[in-house]
A = this chain, B = another copy of it.
């Protein structure tokens, strides 16, 4: 419970209507898309300016109040969960286009801007914001930056990190800091912008961002291919990416496809059923690109990697093929899946996939496991579905064991326990499989420098 004195001070800062205590608000703003924790913030505050954010952080420092920054709450690792009486600071109202200059091809926006709105704004300017993923209709730019969101175009365009030219943040001590100011080149000491990107709200609040925009993409084609085993997906990837500038290379299993088709009413890409499907996309950078893609496809069939396939003949067909992949995440929610978002180098992918598959099949034969992911980035989403008979707690404690074993495999393969979803609450126990003790020490020292009273998103990333 917030002391009356603090409530009054918060109302002084933001106004009464921007401080929320209703149970459904606390519930809504207190969780992300994970289902393992109960929302229990003390209140939700909705500042409208960077200065209001600063005042809130200073007040929180004075009364030792923990803050959970809140964006679109589409996170998958509990990074935005407020379960211990924290004050949720939601950036929703700081969501405007602040500055746009076509010469710079960059736009400064409030951190609360919805990703899809930024994509749309870019399109209206004849430009392109290339970070895209299933939740872009409700995720916010600030949250994307705080978690360095990835998605489906990383093969060509990289992660959110690549598109951040400047940040205005309030650190845990309540200082407003402007980082990099939208400059293309700026070698003036440590790049603190890159520290904030992916810091999951533990160093401060991202309030505004200057985002670099890309040139509008060319028309593209989508190809879906049926493949019988893991290793061959990597062969297909290697074959295509050697000769073609891919903008996406995704994969999903037959089980994933089955679920999407039966729950979303999509149609199969082709009649032949195979264990796995690769989906790739490429832009039409030259007129002979389609011939080249078809030749590669035929080669993959000839050597026996690919069983069947389809290439989009129109933009609407391309969209429909994408839905087979993009709707997986949303479809699986009803089974309260336990998500492993892991990565290794492409060259180690085939061996790693084999090892993980064997591990899961042997040790957890009663679990339904759904595979899909951004294989072009070495990124695998291993979803374990909750059997109806299991309670959430039972299921979670069983999954923790899976994660430990996968963590050990990842350490062996020098991979990452969180490729793109971040660490939050969900993965912090496994962080040591990807980051050394020395790195953890360095991270804690950095945390102390930016957030001396440890009020920013405590318990996330590390304890």
A interface residue numbers (CB < 8 A to B)? 101-106, 147-148, 150, 154, 159, 161-162, 171, 175, 177-179, 181-192, 194-195, 197-200, 203, 215, 234, 238, 241-242, 245, 285-287, 343-347, 374, 377-379, 414-423, 427, 431, 434-436, 438-439, 441-443, 445-446, 448-450, 461-462
Contact A195 B198 (CB under 8 A): no
Nearest chain B CB to A287 CB, angstrom units: 7
The CA-CA distance from A274 to B421 in the complex, in Å, is 54
Cβ of A416: which chain B residues have Cβ within 8 Å of it?
183, 185-188
B residues near A162, Cβ cutoff 8 Å: 162
Residues of B within 8 A of A184 (CB): 154, 343, 345-346, 377-379
* Interchain nearest-CB distance for A93 vs B (Å): 25
Task: Judge whether A420 and B190 touch: CB under 8 Å.
Answer: no
* Complex-state Cα separation, A420 to B197, whole angstroms: 21
State in angstroms the CA–CA spacing of A330 and B25 once bound together. Answer: 64
Q: Within the assembled complex, what's the spacing in Å between the Cα atoms of A427 and B423?
A: 38
Q: Which residues of B contact A287 (CB under 8 A)?
A: 286-287
Contact partners of A423 in chain B: CB under 8 A: 187-189
Q: Could you tell me if B185 and A104 are in contact, using CB atoms closer than 8 angstroms?
A: no
Bound complex: CA A3 to CA B41 (Å): 61
Q: Bound state CA distance, A161 and B427, in angstroms?
A: 27
- Determine the distance from Cα of A419 to Cα of B183 in the docked complex, in whole angstroms: 9
A345→B183 contact, CB < 8 A:
yes
Who on chain B is nearest to A235 by CB? Answer: B103
Q: Are B448 and A414 in contact (CB under 8 A)?
A: no
CB closest residue in chain B, given A185 = B419
Do A192 and B443 touch across chains, with their CB atoms under 8 A apart?
A: yes
In angstroms, Cα B296 to Cα A389, docked, is 68
* Total copies of this chain within the assembly: 2
Tell whether, in the assembled complex, residue B103 and residue A187 are in contact, meaning their CB atoms are under 8 Å apart.
Answer: no
Known contacts A147-B187, A195-B195, A343-B185; A177/B439 CB under 8 A: yes
Instruction: Report yes or no: A177 in contact with B103, Cβ–Cβ below 8 A.
Output: no
Known contacts A177-B436, A238-B103, A436-B177; A188/B417 CB under 8 A: yes
Knowing that A148-B187, A184-B379 touch, tell me 16 more A-B residue pairs with CB under 8 angstroms.
Answer: A103-B347, A104-B345, A161-B191, A177-B439, A179-B439, A183-B344, A183-B345, A183-B416, A184-B345, A185-B378, A186-B419, A189-B423, A189-B461, A191-B194, A192-B439, A445-B445
Can you name 26 A-B residue pairings with CB atoms under 8 Å? A101-B345, A103-B238, A104-B346, A148-B187, A154-B184, A171-B438, A177-B439, A177-B442, A178-B436, A184-B345, A184-B346, A184-B378, A185-B377, A185-B378, A185-B416, A186-B434, A187-B416, A188-B431, A189-B198, A190-B195, A190-B443, A192-B439, A195-B195, A285-B285, A285-B286, A441-B449
What's the least CB distance linking A170 to chain B, in Å? 11
Residues of B within 8 A of A245 (CB): 215
The 5 closest A-B pairs by CB, nearest first: A445-B449, A194-B194, A185-B419, A186-B416, A103-B347
CA distance in complex: A419, B245 (Å): 31
